[in-house]
């Protein structure tokens, strides 16, 4: 994982003992839980058409990873939207 300047500074400070971790308060924990729940809530249903070959390939990959194929499709879309999965532009 590549760290930016700020992240490197934080990690260096922690490694040198200049920074200590603390436990979040009960209120902070509840806020974090709520944010996480909202982040991972899938609230939209989409129907798409795929080539049979592509669906079978996705199902095979999902089985290798031990996850439902719909979860793999959702994860790939999320990664693409976030910029973590990029197009391979050739030509």
The ranges assigned to domains in the chain are 42-86
pLDDT one-digit tens code per residue, 14-65: 899 888 778 889 999 988 888 887 777 777 888 999 999 999 999 999 999 9
Residue 14 to residue 11: CA distance in whole angstroms: 5
| Degrees to nearest 5, angle at CA 63 with 56 and 71 | 85
**Confidence (pTM):** 0.52
User: Domain spanning 42-86 has what CATH number?
Assistant: 1.10.1220
């Amino acid at each position: 994982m590549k760290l930016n300047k700020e992240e490197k500074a934080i990690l260096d400070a922690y490694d040198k003992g200049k920074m200590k971790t603390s436990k979040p308060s009960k209120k902070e924990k509840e806020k974090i839980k709520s944010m996480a729940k909202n982040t991972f809530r899938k609230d939209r249903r989409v129907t798409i058409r795929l080539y049979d070959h592509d669906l079978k390939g996705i199902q095979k990959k999902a089985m290798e990873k031990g996850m439902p194929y719909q979860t793999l499709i959702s994860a790939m879309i999320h990664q693409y939207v976030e910029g973590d999965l990029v197009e391979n532009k050739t030509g």
